[in-house]
Amino acid sequence: MTTPTRTALAEEEIDAFLARHQTAVLSLSNEPEPYAIPVTYRFDPDSRRFYFRLVFAPSSEKLQFIPDVPPARLVVYEEADPEYGSVIAVGQPEEIPRSDIDAEQVAQFGRTNRPLFEMWEDSKNDLDVRLFELDPDRLTGREITTE
């Protein structure tokens, strides 16, 4: 039987890990139950901030978290046996009003490789797309090896 080895990731390792991925699970909690959704993100290693879009269909469950998005956890993970790694960002997502979007934010959102409208059945005209920024209060990563 093997004993797993856990290693905390250094800041530069976290940056490299996040650069390899663009999808995560965003977990929110609004009593009485938690809510988790997949999101596409962009991580800027210079500012240490995440940028992501939330798309709201007319009947979206996410609407219960707007206009004040609660504190959240953004979880990015990968598994390649015998290794497993994850990075968790904890903080308060802030909506970026369209009128406040600056050139740097446009550049950050433009660097994502995932299509915006890849999974919604609703007409694109019925979707409400909102942009968010997460400046994490805590950003941690770890790697576990089972061999």
Give me the domains of the chain, ranges plus CATH numbers. Answer: 5-145 (2.30.110.10)
Determine the Cα–Cα distance for residues 78 and 4; give it in Å rounded to an integer: 16
When pLDDT is averaged across residues 84-107 and rounded to a whole number, the result is 82
Asked whether 34 and 44 are in contact (CB, 8 A), the reply is no
Whether the per-residue pLDDT at 85 is higher than 90: the answer is: yes
Average pLDDT, the chain: 81
Identity of residue 59: S
**Number of other residues whose CB lies within 10 A of the CB of residue 22:** 17
Whether the per-residue pLDDT at 80 is higher than 60: the answer is: yes
For residue range 23-71, list pLDDT tens digits in order. 999 998 876 778 888 888 989 999 999 988 887 777 777 767 766 777 8
Whether the per-residue pLDDT at 120 is higher than 50: the answer is: no
Q: What is the pLDDT, as a whole number, of residue 125? A: 62
Identity of residue 75: V
Q: What is the pLDDT, as a whole number, of residue 15? A: 96
126 has which bridge partners? Answer: none
In 13-71, DSSP assigns E strands to 23-30, 33-44, 49-56
Residue 13 vs residue 61, higher pLDDT: 13
Q: What is the pLDDT, as a whole number, of residue 56? A: 76
Of these ranges, 16-25, 65-74, 107-116, the one predicted with the greatest mean pLDDT is: 16-25
